[in-house]
Structure 1
Amino acid sequence: MLDGTMATLSAIPVEAVEHGEIFTRRWVVDLILDLAGYDEERDLASLVAVEPACGTGAFLEPMVVRLSESLRRHNRTLDQASGAIRAFDLLPRNVESSRRLVEKVLIRDGWPAEDAIARAEDWVQEGDYLLADHQDEGVDFVLGNPPYIRLEDVPTDRMLAYRAACSTMTGRSDVYVGFYEIGLRSLKRDGVLGFICADRWMRNQYGRELRKFIADSFSVEATIIMHDVDAFEEQVSAYPAISILRRSQQGAAVVADTSESFGPDDAATVLAWTRDGQSHAIRTDRFEIARLPHWFDGSDSWPAGSPARLALIEELNDRFPLLEDQTTGTRVGIGVATGADGVFVTKDADVESDRLLRLSMVRDTISGTLTWSGRYLVNPWDDQGKLVDLEAYPLLRAYYERHADALKRRHVAGRRPAHWYRTIDKVDSALTARPKLLLPDMKLTIHPVLDEDGLYPHHNLYYIVSDDWDLRVLGGLLISRVAQAFIEAYAVKMRGGTLRFQAQYLRRIRVPRPETISDADRAMLADAFEKRDTVAATEVAMRVYGIDYDWNES
């Protein structure tokens, strides 16, 4: 039943709801029900299964078929299953269609028409699942394909109600995030949620709170990526994945990736492999599957990739510390953002000489050896990180005043008008004295370049400094396929395969302790870095990580 306050809110436009409806093929539904354990061999009349957005019955029909068979097997009456299914939908015509479908299935299976009509009325309700009162519910299953509707397509009053009801629905979220949260909250201990849904929440910013919510209280039992599979009744670009989540402690997790040829026979193989508790990975031209000892922790983006690659990442996560580490004094940062490069970045400017800071740019790193292009930052910061007094620098003041209109239009200047000539980021002058590895922010492969010349990085460059690492040795590890695997698993991929080498992804790289690497391997890593020899670096890296991995397999 809808909460009285929420029920008065304006409805989501019908066209938005219809746009969000995607109907799942029967064999995909059966796979989800099987993985979740919604099985006719169980006494389903004693359990509660929720379909939160039933549409015209793609999930509801096979659920009713299984429930009916379970009733026969366990000598139950249809009346005893009055609370066994709870299905919701916003559209009256979908509710009517689903009720008629339930009646048809039950009557076809030999149940009295009067009882079938009563159960259809009980089980299928018109209402907004996200705003219904679930406080006292303890359900065993939440199963379905939640709608894909961007929050900006929802009327403001209802959008605000959704955000109030669903704490994980942050940023530019999609409504399906709320279906995950409300569904998971309603589960009793050991209850299961089985959805097929777009998998963007596993990696993007708006899924952060949902990932944390799951990591804190639930286990990921299975994830099956189905981006290229013909899983729906119509062609959609939804990037779907099956998620099986349980209210329990995290244990082993099944992960699978599929190709466009994946079909019902392969689904049966995946199900049998999963149920048998097998640990050996399978790789065919239609799917790959592996079992991980556990899933990934926290709210950070979950890695993507083949099951074999994910198993490798998980193993390394368990055995090695992060690249950014206080014990080795290793830190990842980004260069200076100005908000007006046309003013602050120059090859020549008529200012005091100590106000020109040599700047390293992405173009300076292309060859793999830092080659300074002669660009400077017109620097408004002193050595203590404070803005200089322009009265003490008449040339600098005149330069900035010639460009005052451009500088004062910036957001950073509007917030602090007295500091209108500042760059967005402060300059840490101590950074120029430190050797550092520079990494361009966009590249097909990881590309660390050593700076020992005292330059300051521009904001399109990330940098790594360390107290304990020989940066040539660390650079050798970073050009290896092992480090690249971490970036490929976590980073945003642009068109053409270009990767974003942002600090948040670089920090996910795992590395051995410097002292655990032998002198011989250190020398070989440094040599591979100097020669930009990825093959040699990978060979040594695999030895120091203690892994045996076929990079051609994933």
Structure 2
Amino acid sequence: MLSVAQLPDRGEIRVLDPAAGDGALLEALLKRMPVDTLSRVRVFGYDTDPSAVVRASARLQNAFPDVSILIEEKDFLDHVLSLSADSDLFSDTRSTLMPFDLVIANPPYVRTQIMGTEQAQKLAQSFALTGRVDLYYPFLLGISRVLSEGGVTGIITSNRFMTTKSGQAVRRALLSKFRIMHVWDLGDTKLFDAAVLPAVLLAKGTKQIVDSDVEDIVFSTIYESKENAVDHVSNVMEALTMSDNTVVSISDGRNFLVRHGLLDNGESADGIWRISTASSDQWLATVHKHTWNTFRRVGKIRVGVKSTADKVFVRSDWSALPGGRPELLRPLITRYCARQFKACIPSKTKHIKEIMYPHESTSKGRKAVDLSLYPIAARYLELHRTTLEARSYLIKAGRAWYELWVPQDPAAWSSPKIVFPDISEKPTFWMDTEGGIVNGECYWLQCEREGENDLLWLALAVANSTFIEFFYDHCFNNKLYAGRRRFITQYVEQFPLPDPARKESQIIIDLAKAIHSELPSNAADQKISELNALIWNVFGLNVEEVPR
């Protein structure tokens, strides 16, 4: 941070931490300031926790008795929300009207659900944010309003904004309000105590709205790897100094893959942020050359049903109820059924679920069933009426008290569909041909055009291949701890499909169907290995030619 900062030659050097906590970041920054500048440094810190303010003040004043330090009990975002067109962020005193030369921050990670609706809406409106807003989003953008032109900020934050749909507005705004110099995705290093996967941004302030070009933004990533290490260092920070494409071990025994390249957002201001290197770009260019379309062409990817009262609607012991087994029960597909190509039977009886599904399709669309036609189900639901009616949002939406909150289309369940869990280390997609209802922890994809069901089988084959793991990591790299990937709509809909008219594609489709019918068996396992090689080849690649 200090290596790229151009501190004022004379006068004050203004430093801010908008979420100071116990003052650790400010202390670390001041320790690295040139000694001959400390007499000119003025430090400002804000925190909403009065005990943190006391601790930070004592810590900094003891360590730097000759530095001007002011740590106050204030909410940084309250200042942001009080902005008007003709006022600066800090309008309470003359001293805080001036911009800051250095801003260091580790904003709090709080979801809108915890913040409260009113504050979330104000923040969203002020910063043109949509969807689910994490508290650190407006913190990031608020910093741009107080950083001087040419001033430098270093921010420790969650890496979620780089790859999620809710982060689109933040990505766009960061590129227009800062001159970003370097991004570090610290992945699953567990470098900090917080559960989030961290990232660090280094950026300069600018008064001009800059071009959202990302060509010159350096992007580094570090994620745990199962590959053999070629070097050893003591810790994660030292590992980051290694050259691109190096697998390195650290003193606790973990191995990490270190990558250095440039930030690529697909030439879209709000596009997903990924690392671009010469080898990965060449690999993706080959894939795109052999891509006919994407999974989006097959159909819309939907999330499973959500009852918001699972204890009432979802059970494994329906037959044991005193009133008898009720009507309206349907088999429920859950993450415990997950297996590539074909669902498995959960090993534990308690994980074999059925759902009471009180919806039907009519010529006018979906509607709630007439409970008078299902007396056992009606008696059961009446027993739980208080719980179900407590879902006030459902009642306010004009829905019947016994409905599921998100039932999806009852007519669609009987058609073949690809199902997959939201989170898994390896891609795990399977074909359901038995009319099961998909639970809300999984997604499903159904063919929307008549006569194109073979596209589903082609997509199933691609989705379960080792090729798609590398494609995912090149394009999205949204990994959680232990290498688990997020298979969400915005990623899966971009998975590539080869031309279904090709002879190779027809072979792939036939193999996928055969695997589905033969699982579990050694013959199916052999076909899976054969299928993997075919998927790589159909995209113009060899399995051996795998760039990281």
Give the distance between the partners of 2:373 and 2:306, measured in 1 at CA. Answer: 23
Which residue matches 2:254? none
Change (3 A) 1:514 1:324: same
Which residue matches 2:365? 385
Identify which of 293, 297, 301 aligns with 1:332.
301
Where in structure 2 are the equivalents of 1:260-271 lying within 5 Å? Answer: 261-262=234-235, 269=241
- Residues 58-93 of structure 1 show CA distances to partners (whole Å, capped at 9, x for unaligned) of 21242344858xxxxxxxxx9xxx6xx553124477
1:291 positional shift: 0.8
- Residues 31-60 of structure 1 show CA distances to partners (whole Å, capped at 9, x for unaligned) of x333xx126xx8755997643246563212
Identify which of 210, 213, 225 aligns with 1:250.
213
* SS at 1:403 equivalent: helix
TM-score by length of 1: 0.62
Where in structure 2 are the equivalents of 1:324-403 lying within 5 Å? Answer: 324-325=295-296, 328-338=297-307, 339-340=309-310, 343=313, 351=327, 366=339, 368-369=341-342, 378-383=357-362, 384-387=364-367, 390=370, 394-397=372-375, 399-403=377-381
Which residue matches 1:506? 492
Query: Counterpart amino acid of 1:480?
Result: S
1:403 positional shift: 2.7
Identify which of 527, 539, 542 aligns with 2:533.
539
- Residues 198-243 of structure 1 show CA distances to partners (whole Å, capped at 9, x for unaligned) of 54655679867544532554465322245787979xx887754332
* SS at 1:381 equivalent: strand
Which 5+ residue runs of structure 1 have no aligned equivalent? 1-31, 69-77, 105-119, 274-279
Change (3 A) 1:298 1:434: farther
Q: Which has the higher helix share?
A: 1
Change (3 A) 1:526 1:211: farther
* SS at 1:60 equivalent: helix
CA contact (8 A) 1:380 1:422 kept: yes
1:177 positional shift: 4.9
1:474 matched to 2:459? The reply is yes
Farther-moved stretch of structure 1 (204-213 vs 237-246): 204-213
Give the distance between the partners of 2:404 and 2:155, measured in 1 at CA. Answer: 47
- Residues 301-336 of structure 1 show CA distances to partners (whole Å, capped at 9, x for unaligned) of 767x998998799879988798453xx252111333
Which residue matches 1:144? 104
1:445 matched to 2:426? The reply is yes
Change (3 A) 1:334 1:197: closer
Give the distance between the partners of 1:45 and 1:314, measured in 2 at CA. Answer: 50
Which residue matches 1:185? 145
Give the distance between the partners of 1:149 and 1:369, measured in 2 at CA. Answer: 39
Change (3 A) 1:370 1:148: closer
Change (3 A) 1:161 1:255: same
Give the distance between the partners of 2:490 and 2:446, measured in 1 at CA. Answer: 15
Which 5+ residue runs of structure 2 have no aligned equivalent? 47-52, 80-87, 92-96, 225-232, 251-256, 346-351, 516-523
Give the distance between the partners of 1:526 and 1:48, measured in 2 at CA. Answer: 69
Q: Which has the higher strand share?
A: 2
Give the distance between the partners of 2:190 and 2:397, measured in 1 at CA. Answer: 54
Change (3 A) 1:498 1:381: same
Give the distance between the partners of 1:364 and 1:134, measured in 2 at CA. Answer: 53
1:526 positional shift: 4.5
CA contact (8 A) 1:49 1:142 kept: yes
1:511 positional shift: 0.9
Which residue matches 1:113? none
Give the distance between the partners of 2:479 and 2:293, measured in 1 at CA. Answer: 19
Where in structure 2 are the equivalents of 1:150-549 lying within 5 Å? Answer: 167=127, 173=134, 177-187=137-147, 192-197=152-157, 199=159, 202=162, 210-215=170-175, 217-218=177-178, 220-226=180-186, 240-246=198-204, 248=210, 249-252=212-215, 253-257=218-222, 261-262=234-235, 269=241, 281-285=245-249, 288-292=258-262, 294-295=264-265, 323-325=294-296, 328-338=297-307, 339-340=309-310, 343=313, 351=327, 366=339, 368-369=341-342, 378-383=357-362, 384-387=364-367, 390=370, 394-397=372-375, 399-410=377-388, 411=391, 414-415=395-396, 419-432=400-413, 434-441=415-422, 443-466=424-447, 467=449, 468=452, 470-485=455-470, 489=476, 493=480, 501-507=487-493, 509-512=494-497, 514=499, 518-524=502-508, 526-527=510-511, 530=515, 531=524, 535-546=529-540
* SS at 1:195 equivalent: strand
1:33 matched to 2:6? The reply is no
- Residues 497-530 of structure 1 show CA distances to partners (whole Å, capped at 9, x for unaligned) of 66554445533x4314645x73224413642572
* SS at 2:507 equivalent: helix
1:87 matched to 2:43? The reply is yes
Change (3 A) 1:344 1:101: closer
Query: Counterpart amino acid of 2:504?
Result: A
CA contact (8 A) 2:368 2:403 kept: no
Where in structure 2 are the equivalents of 1:129-140 lying within 5 Å? Answer: 130=76, 133-134=88-89
Give the distance between the partners of 1:523 and 1:323, measured in 2 at CA. Answer: 19
- Residues 345-378 of structure 1 show CA distances to partners (whole Å, capped at 9, x for unaligned) of 7689565xxx676765656665743589996755
* SS at 1:330 equivalent: coil
Give the distance between the partners of 1:545 and 1:139, measured in 2 at CA. Answer: 52
1:289 positional shift: 2.7
* SS at 1:241 equivalent: strand
Change (3 A) 1:129 1:99: farther
* SS at 1:261 equivalent: coil
Give the distance between the partners of 2:402 and 2:258, measured in 1 at CA. Answer: 55
Give the distance between the partners of 2:292 and 2:151, measured in 1 at CA. Answer: 34
Indicate the percent of aligned positions where both proteins have the same amino acid.
Answer: 14
Give the distance between the partners of 2:530 and 2:276, measured in 1 at CA. Answer: 24
1:465 positional shift: 1.8
C-alpha RMSD of the superposition: 5.3
Give the distance between the partners of 2:510 and 2:196, measured in 1 at CA. Answer: 44
Which residue matches 1:63? 33
CA contact (8 A) 2:330 2:355 kept: yes
Instruction: Select the structure of larger CA radius of gyration.
Output: 1
Query: Counterpart amino acid of 1:447?
Result: T
Query: Counterpart amino acid of 1:449?
Result: W
